[in-house]
Structure 1
């Protein structure tokens, strides 16, 4: 019975793939367009269910148009359809599976584990995603996206599959416990308030310096102009 249900899900995924994905990724997910104007997409053989769940679940796929970076957007497919697409691609060749929920469950993490996750984040992620997880620019029109709206499930999948220019953090590089602690730290960043008021994107001295020049110096210039204009009026009054 389970095999029959899985076969039905794979078949449903195959149909969805043929309609929504094959023009770029090939009818059998082998990659490339058909030579008649379709955009060439990479092969999906061996990418695994986790990659499909991430890309389609975050709305990056199907892409609106090709580009250096495919942005996140609201998902086009329902969760059941995403699972069917993932099952179909997973049936083509082995690849990373969708992680079990307990893998990224951070309900019972301790403060020590969150602190450890912060160390892992600063070592492996801040060069691209910024020390506060706000994202940052990369060469050739690409960028590391902000993690402020990312879910634990999608963060874990991103580490497993390495979407776009992100490297793969396999279990040999970051063990499952490392991934969980890192996710707990990112969620802590998402929930963190700005005690000083405005966060200014948490970009550090760049945004703070820009604020100082545009607002602080701007106010000083405005005050100087106002004082100068007031002084002129006073002198005119004395002359009269």
Structure 2
């Protein structure tokens, strides 16, 4: 009696295997990037009362900041003078990790914060005492209870050309960029408008009143708290990211279907 010989597997892989592996790889890469970005973003909501004194702030400044900004805040070739910058600017720059500056470049990037909240408050108090400047606003300005519709209109007129209409940030000239605002705290939103860090203009009360600044902050908080109504936001970067998505998944799907039809016909 003839023995039945077992049929060997052809070893052909499913045409969907490669597409599945690519999709899984993209998802893992995107998840790791999103997690790393969230970990590095600063989310400090308000100024913290410090138990350190102005003298403590002076010592911290002289030990960590005076090399660039001078012992008497007079500045140097490595850093600007700090006359009139105020504690609000100090909080913005240090609570986002922009200062101390890691290296010279087109602009100071956000990075992990180097000091505690109390130390930042003490340094700010020293600079405010030595050369007064913009200070912290009333709590009402940061409460997120302004007119978000009016704030959105003001943001689109004054800010969207750099920060994107959805606050997703964007590229500027000479290697500079406007940062995304999706994790920016209320206090740092206000501080940026008042102090005009780096490439941002100063929005004084003649340009935007305190109430209008409150409305802009309310609008940005609305964007942070509400998901995109149209589904996947794709970074809210407009046609570039949308076209890339269509190219990878749309064209990729057509190629996968073509390979599958060819395999079936053979």
TM-score scaled by structure 2?
0.76
Identify the range of structure 1 (200-209 vs 93-102) with the bigger mean alpha-carbon deviation: 93-102
**Counterpart in the other structure of 2:70:** 26
The correspondence for 1:208, drawn from 239, 242, 247, is 242
Counterpart for residue 36 of structure 1: none
The runs of 5 or more residues in structure 1 that have no matched partner are 1-5, 34-39, 234-240
Are residues 1:11 and 2:49 paired?
Answer: no
After TM superposition, give the deviation of residue 229 of structure 1 in Å. Answer: 4.0
1: CA distance, partners of 2:186 / 2:103: 27
Structure 1, 149-158 or 217-226: larger mean CA deviation: 217-226
Task: Verify: 1:85 aligned to 2:85, yes or no.
Answer: no
Name segments (4+ residues, structure 1) moved above 6 Å. Answer: none
Mapped contact 1:49–1:96 kept (Cα < 8 A): yes
Secondary structure, aligned partner of 1:155: helix
Question: 2:57, 2:119 within 8 Å by CA — same for their partners in 1?
Answer: yes
The correspondence for 1:67, drawn from 94, 105, 111, is 105
* Structure of greater relative contact order (alpha carbons < 8 Å, 6+ residues apart): 2
Instruction: Return the alpha-carbon distance in structure 1 between the equivalents of residues 136 and 104 of structure 2.
Output: 26
Moved more, 45-54 or 148-157: 45-54
Are 2:91 and 2:120, in contact at CA under 8 Å, matched by a contact in 1? Answer: yes
Tell me the residue number matched to 2:177: 143
Distance in 1 (alpha carbons) for counterparts of 2:83 and 2:153:
35
Aligned-pair distance for 1:69? 2.1
Shift of 1:141: 0.9
The correspondence of residues 85-234 of structure 1 with structure 2, limited to 5 A, is 85-106=123-144, 108-109=145-146, 113-231=147-265, 233=266
Q: Which moved more, 1:69-78 or 1:164-173?
A: 69-78
Q: Could you tell which deviates more after superposition, 207-216 or 177-186?
A: 207-216
Q: Is the 8 A contact 2:82 2:131 kept in 1?
A: no
Question: How far, CA to CA, are the matches of 2:200 and 2:234 in structure 1?
Answer: 26
* CA distance in 2 between partners of 1:100 and 1:10 (Å): 22
Deviates more, 1:64-73 or 1:46-55: 64-73
Report Cα offsets for 1:164-195 as digits up to 9, x if no partner. 11110011110000000000000000011134
Indicate the SS of the match to 2:53.
helix
